[in-house]
Amino acid sequence: MALSNRQLQLARRPSGLPSLQDFTLTSHSLNSTLAAGQVLVKVRYLSIDPAMRVWISGVKTYFNPVNPGDLMPSLGLGEVLQSASDKLQPGDLVRGMLGWQDYAVCQASDLQRLPKDNNPSQHLGVLGINGLSAYIGLVTIAKIKEGETVLISTAAGAVGSVAVQIAKVKGCRVVGIAGSDEKCAWVCRDLGADACFNYKTVTSIRQAIRTHCPAGLDVYFDNVGGETLSAALQQMNQSGRIAMCGSIESYNQEAPKPWTNYSTLILKNVMVQGFIVMNYAQEFSGALTQLRTWLQAGKIKHREELLEGLENCPRGLRMLFTGENKGKVIVRLEPTARL
């Protein structure tokens, strides 16, 4: 049978902050007749992530550029409605690249079946790519140790907030950077950071880091790049480590600010490593087991900025760069009856 399927497609490449006008909402008939190995999925939740801004910029990275007219790709959660595969059955909860649309026809082999629970959206955040990014960056790459001083940018964000708590669980002194006094208070009060400063109100990011990390930095978990990375470099201790998870400061800029102070890498034997979390898939099972254990024990908290309706996906993407969101941005699509 044919279904009416709404999609959000890229209409044009954004200039600066992404807007609603950069996307087009279309509707077309989707034939639900499946080929062998395929499943029909009703999309329930969509993950909104900063990297999407890079995908629509035209730059080829680890992900092929999204071109005008293309469906906007997105990690999502959905329910299997129909199956032509012995790997998945109707009713299964799955995670995969579903895209900004109501329904998706996918290869069953491209999807991961998830356990059903009372909070399925957590599989897009703390128990998804965001939690895994925090864990891999700090534990696998930076190899944090008890007693070290760890600086984390975007400490109130989906990745940064988990990173703060992992570092605390590991016995580190943790300093966060966030974009409002309210977020800084939450990072300290609820997440347990030892300090957090508002980068929008300090006179100098470099001086703020020196004030809050007088004994220097052993580890910097970088989500922003640019000026903040340059400032952190100047305060690194000998044999310090920097895990570069993101560069959100540059995503909306045509001419990003370069980072400086390269000589510190040599003089202080500092390791800098950028990473794409999907390249560490062999670590996921152990990392998720540990994250789930901490979550159940109350050692890790998380919060979500939940938006309702497919049409709010562009708004969610914009929120990541204006700082309006409080926690992981997720769009929930209206449920429909099973076919």
Q: What does the pLDDT look like over 153-191, one tens digit per residue?
A: 999 999 999 999 999 999 999 999 999 999 999 999 999
Residue 99 has pLDDT above 60, yes or no: yes
C-alpha to C-alpha distances, 73 to 25, 81, 306, nearest whole angstrom: 14, 20, 19
Say what the pLDDT of residue 33 is: 86
> Domain boundaries in the chain?
2-121+303-332, 129-281+286-296
Say what the pLDDT of residue 253 is: 61
| Tokens standing for residue 275 | 């990473």
Report, in angstroms and rounded to the nearest whole number, the Rg of the chain calculated over CA atoms.
21
Task: Please provide the average confidence, as pLDDT, over all residues in the chain.
Answer: 92
Say what the pLDDT of residue 337 is: 36
* pLDDT tens-digit series, residues 134-145: 999 999 999 999
Residue 338 has pLDDT above 70, yes or no: no
The CATH superfamily assigned to 2-121+303-332 is Medium-chain alcohol dehydrogenases, catalytic domain (3.90.180.10)
Q: 158-169 and 284-296 are packed helices; what angle lies between their axes, rounded to 10 degrees?
A: 80
The pLDDT of 6-11, averaged and rounded, is 97
More reliable by pLDDT, 122 or 334: 122
The pLDDT of 259-283, averaged and rounded, is 91
Bridge-partner residues for 23, per DSSP? 10
Confidence of residue 220 (pLDDT cuts 50, 70, 90): very high
φ, ψ at 24 (rounded to 5°): -125, 130
Confidence of residue 252 (pLDDT cuts 50, 70, 90): low
Say what the pLDDT of residue 324 is: 86
The pLDDT of 197-225, averaged and rounded, is 96
Rounded CA-CA distance 23/76 in Å is 18
Say what the pLDDT of residue 31 is: 79
2-121+303-332 and 129-281+286-296 share one CATH topology? no
CATH of domain 129-281+286-296: 3.40.50.720
Say what the pLDDT of residue 327 is: 86
The pLDDT of 216-224, averaged and rounded, is 96
Strand order in the sheet with 236-244: 195-198, 173-178, 149-152, 217-222, 236-244, 271-274
Of the ranges 16-20, 80-84, 298-302, which one carries the lowest mean pLDDT score? 16-20
Residue 258 has pLDDT above 80, yes or no: no
* Burial state string for 7-41 with b = 16 or more CB within 10 A and e = fewer than 16: bbbbeeebeeebebebbeeeeeebebebeebbbbb
